[in-house]
Amino acid sequence: MSLADLVLAVVWNLATLPGIAAVLIAGLIYRWLSQNKYKLPPGPPGLPLIGNVLDFRGSTLTKKTLEWKGKYGDVIHYKMGFRRWVVISSIEALEEAYLQRGHDFASKPHVPSLASFSEDCNNIAFAPYSEALRYRRKVAMQAMRQFLTGSQHTERIHQVVQTAVSNLSAQKGSFDPHRFFSHVIFNLIHDLCFGYTLDVDDPNYVRLLSIFDNSNLQLVSFWEDAFPILLYWPTRRFQEATRIVEETRAYIKKHIDQRQKQFREDKLENLIDNIFLAQKVVVEGEDETLKAGFTDLHTRNIIRDIFFAGIATSRQTLDWIFLVLAANQKAQNKIHEEIDKATGGAVPGREHRTDLVYTETVIMEVMRLYPVVPMGLPHETMCDTQVGGYDVPAKTVILVNQYAIMRDPRHWDNPEVFKPERFLEENGTKVRTRLQSWIPFSIGPRNCIGEFLARQNLLYSVVGLLQQLHFDLAPENPQPDMTPEDTWFDLRPRPYKLVVTRRA
């Protein structure tokens, strides 16, 4: 029985206000007694029943937890309704939790909105930790790597980038480049998953771009998550979010159904085909646990995770990269020189990557300064455990303040300054491999499965665009506001304009 069902049953059977009050008081006493058996992390005091919900008025998750970090330390505790949340804001505490005690922190919370939007958490991002989940993660990563190796994917990137070069260079004067940068990442993921691309003016792209641009505002932070009883009387905002999710789910299902009709085991043409093959192996096997954890429902949600998560994060990173480079012409010119020397005018490919060291460090520095998902995805403890010397009870929601960790002055020299060279080895010819506090893809058993895909797409997209184009800030705004637009979920650049010219 869910919490919402329990609450409804109590209200239904205790029809008098004194009876309801008695139950609430008993619940508060139980909570107080159970809480006091733990040495919980410090944190802000909350109100009865609602916890710290009102503390977030006029603020966002990142801003408020940064404020609490300054007051209470690197590991803090607060409540949303009756639910405990712990935020980790140092690399030392994070490594203890996600590496040394990785299994303890490896599950995901059953957040009502996330469960609703992922078909009861039957995906990868929000699924409980299990053997079946580990297998689905393995399949997804193997399928992506198969299509990212060799020349096939770099040729695909080149074709997508050439379209972007034509679209960007055709713009006269200053303009907002957002839809064109998003188009690059959208088409790379769309082609990987479904085998074809869309024009920048295609109605499907225009609609999906609108959903991506607004979804981070629409699909997080619901009253229903703090008070699940509201699922029986959902707010208007939750109803609208559900409609959007159903629309995107139908788009994915349409493509999956088409591929199922054309699927041939001896002719794997895209990511869906690889995942179909993996599912076929499971169905024909003898492991009943894997069969139950890899159905058509799971396949649909794996594709949906890769498609939407891959686009949502990388496109905003691309927005940040070109804003930063337009504002730092010295860095942009250095990349131009490196690309020219490395490629000699040839189409950028895997054979050039070892010579694109500075370009890669610029991308990494932008991701450090402006992590587009600054709090990562929530985890949940699978058992009573500890971090930073504090107790963390089972079923506690865990967040990681990646923004704080990647700007921690204890680990980064002048952390607010754009300094790509910090990622170079001492001789300046290689990218540093040991980067303890660089965690845009998280760490541990639930780290992002799309890291390899994202880093490859970003590098070759940036190289392909900068090989042919130069980017300047709009004359009317020579000093753009670099302060992130902090929504509840992400850090996106404020709208900006560029002037794009073809390089000689």
CATH (domain of 495): 1.10.630.10
The pLDDT of residue 219 is 53
In this predicted structure, the answer to whether residue 5 has a pLDDT above a threshold of 50 is: no
Does the pLDDT value for residue 501 go beyond 80?
yes
pLDDT band at 270 (very low <50, low <70, confident <90, very high): confident
Whether 19 has a pLDDT exceeding 90, the answer reads: no
Overall pTM > 0.75: yes
Answer whether residue 71 is part of any domain: no
- 6 phi and psi angles, rounded to 5 deg: -65, -45
Give the pLDDT score at 79.
93
d(CA 458, CA 362): 11
Q: Residues, the chain, total?
A: 504
Cα distances (Å, whole numbers) of residue 25 to 20, 31, 47, 48: 9, 10, 14, 10
Would you say residue 18 has pLDDT above 70? no
- Domain range for 139 is 83-502
Top-confidence residue, 411 or 7: 411
Mean per-residue pLDDT of the chain? 88
pLDDT at 3 over 80: no
- Over residues 345-365, the mean pLDDT reads 92
pLDDT at 403 over 80: yes
pLDDT band at 340 (very low <50, low <70, confident <90, very high): very high
Q: Is residue 139 part of a domain?
A: yes
Query: pLDDT confidence of 57, banded at 50, 70, 90?
Result: confident
**Is 49 within a domain?**
no
pLDDT tens, position by position, 213-231? 886 545 566 878 777 888 8
Tell me, yes or no, whether 40 lies in a domain.
no
pLDDT band for position 368 (cuts 50, 70, 90): very high
pLDDT value at position 222? Answer: 80
66 inside domain: no
Does 448 carry a binding-site annotation? yes
Note whether residue 132 is domain-resident: yes
The structure tokens listed for 233 are: 């009387």
Domain assignment present for 144:
yes
Tell me how far apart the alpha carbons of residues 498 and 501 are, in angstroms, rounded to a whole number.
10
- Report the domain count for the chain: 1
Question: What is the identity of the amino acid at 362?
Answer: V
With b for 16 or more beta-carbon neighbours within 10 A and e for fewer, the 139-155 pattern comes to: bbbebbeebbeeeebbe
pLDDT value at residue 244:
87
Q: Is the pLDDT of residue 9 over 50?
A: no
Between the ranges 161-170, 280-289, 433-442, where is the mean pLDDT highest? 161-170
Range from 198-207, 277-286, 319-328 carrying the lowest mean pLDDT? 277-286
Residue 6 to residue 250: CA distance in whole angstroms: 33
> Does residue 403 lie within any of the structural domains?
yes
Name the CA dihedral angle for 480, 481, 482, 485, rounded to a multiple of 10 degrees.
-130
